Amino acid sequence: MALLAYTFALANDLPTRKILLDELLAVAQSSGGDLYWTYTLQSSASASVELSSYVLLALTTPSPVSAIDIEKGSQIVRWLIKQQNPYGGFSSTQDTVVAIQALAKYASITFSSKGTLSVTVSKNNNILNEVTVNETNRLLLQTVPLPDIPGEYSLLVKGNGCVFIQSVLTYNILPVPKTSAFNIRVTVQGCGTNLRLKITIGYIGNRNVTNMVLIEVEMLSGFKLIEPEQIKNLPLVKNVDVKRDPPTIYLIELDHKSYEYILTLEQENKVQDLKPATIKVSDYYLTEENAVTTYTVTKYTDCQQQPKAHPSLVIID
């Protein structure tokens, strides 16, 4: 629905856009003046950021944008910037691209080059630092260290304009024991200049079905993936991107059944002492659900040189 609202906004079909936005606003989440939408199939911060960003794009695309839409948009912006990491991005590439696009669109509508603000950082009524934001330095990142953690600090903002303030706390924790969300098995068959890579995967997580799934197949040194069009005919395959590094297979979803994918690799250059290459399977939106394995071949890359007593393939689970 959010995608359609943005689509009809781009097409300048404002009546249909309004119908969709009214339905979206009726199911929006509101907290402390923030406005956002949550992805209902599972708890996914990344999907919620992307969903809310598309609503913001739908609100800010028509020209001119109404004052009501700007006000609704400001509530979404307040929620979005709270989700940003210290580097300005979000959870994944996809939600970062859409969210930055939406925030940039809103900023272009509300932007004013004039205005000067001062931000005073204090602790126990003692001023630690005062930062000035004006037309000459508005794109400059200014930081103030907070000496005592934990501690209570206050901010006082004076002036005319808008300033973005973010607190960042960095600390180390023990790693959480990792459990794989996917079962993945790889078999390498053949030798010489062509290899047949058989990948068997299935979802073993807590949900009935995943979101879109990525299979990232790193190439062995000297090899390339061929016949990608044939892969598109395999079950659940949505797309194959051979230009990406590593080549990536996009699946519509995965359930708890096992699916088999056959890939053909062709040797372009002979490389001695081949090192294993990785294959990673991950949920597109819940990137923490993933599994990684490796595959390789024996040192005999020429069938005619290989002794008959030794197999020509290695299976690594």
CB neighbourhood size of 259 (10 A): 17
User: Average per-residue pLDDT in the chain?
Assistant: 88
Residues whose CB is less than 8 angstroms from the CB of residue 91 and which lie 6 or more positions away in sequence, other chains included: 45, 46, 49, 83, 287
Q: Note if the pTM is more than 0.85.
A: no
Q: What percent of the chain has pLDDT over 90?
A: 61
What residues are paired with 240 via a beta bridge? 249
Are residues 204 and 150 both part of a single domain? no
Residue 108 CA to residue 98 CA, distance in Å, equals 15
Positive or negative: CA dihedral 252, 258, 264, 268: positive
pLDDT tens digit sequence for 128-167:
999 999 989 988 999 999 989 889 999 999 999 888 898 8
Instruction: Pick the last residue of a domain from 53, 85, 110.
Output: 110
pLDDT class of 5 with cuts at 50, 70, 90: very high
Stretch among 1-5, 127-131, 133-137, 178-182 having the lowest mean pLDDT: 178-182
Q: What's 275's DSSP letter?
A: P
- For tokens 């930062």, what's the residue? 131
Q: What percent of the chain has pLDDT over 70?
A: 91
Identify the CATH number of the domain in which residue 66 sits. Answer: 1.50.10.20
Q: What's 177's DSSP letter?
A: P
Are residues 135 and 246 both part of a single domain? no
Residues whose CB is less than 8 angstroms from the CB of residue 17 and which lie 6 or more positions away in sequence, other chains included: 5, 8, 9, 58, 62
Tell me, yes or no, whether 196 lies in a domain. Answer: yes
Tell me, yes or no, whether 164 lies in a domain. Answer: no
Tell me, yes or no, whether 166 lies in a domain. Answer: no
Residue 57 CA to residue 54 CA, distance in Å, equals 5
Tell me, yes or no, whether 171 lies in a domain. Answer: no
Are residues 208 and 290 both part of a single domain? yes
Write out the residue range of the structural domain in which residue 147 sits: 117-159
pLDDT tens digit sequence for 21-65:
999 999 999 988 999 998 765 557 888 999 999 999 999 999 899
* Number of domains making up the chain: 3
pLDDT class of 202 with cuts at 50, 70, 90: very high
Are residues 102 and 11 both part of a single domain? yes
Most confident of 51-55, 239-243, 311-315: 51-55
Are residues 96 and 125 both part of a single domain? no
Instruction: Pick the last residue of a domain from 90, 125, 159.
Output: 159
Residues whose CB is less than 8 angstroms from the CB of residue 18 and which lie 6 or more positions away in sequence, other chains included: none
Structure tokens at 290: 């993933």
Are residues 199 and 235 both part of a single domain? yes
Burial class for 204, CB neighbours closer than 10 Å (0-12, 13-18, 19+)? middle
Q: What is the dihedral of CA 243, 245, 246, 250, to 10 degrees?
A: -50
Are residues 200 and 266 both part of a single domain? yes
pLDDT class of 212 with cuts at 50, 70, 90: very high
Q: How far apart are the first and last CA of the chain?
A: 41
pLDDT class of 72 with cuts at 50, 70, 90: very high
Residue 127 CA to residue 130 CA, distance in Å, equals 8
Q: Is 222 left (phi over 0), alpha (psi -120 to 50) or beta?
A: left
Are residues 23 and 45 both part of a single domain? yes
Tell me, yes or no, whether 174 lies in a domain. Answer: no
Are residues 295 and 206 both part of a single domain? yes
What residues are paired with 241 via a beta bridge? 248
The crossing angle, in degrees rounded to 10, of helices 45-60 and 93-110 is 30
Tell me, yes or no, whether 61 lies in a domain. Answer: yes
Are residues 133 and 257 both part of a single domain? no
Nearest to 137 by CA among 154, 161, 120, 155: 161
Tell me, yes or no, whether 291 lies in a domain. Answer: yes
Are residues 196 and 270 both part of a single domain? yes
- For tokens 């695309």, what's the residue? 61
Residue 72 CA to residue 160 CA, distance in Å, equals 21
Residue 312 CA to residue 317 CA, distance in Å, equals 17
Cβ atoms of 283 and 210 closer than 8 Å: yes
Identify the CATH number of the domain in which residue 292 sits. Answer: 2.60.40.690
Residue 192 CA to residue 313 CA, distance in Å, equals 11
Q: What's 283's DSSP letter?
A: E
Are residues 308 and 207 both part of a single domain? yes
Half-sphere exposure of 209 (CA within 13 A, CB side): 8
Tell me, yes or no, whether 90 lies in a domain. Answer: yes
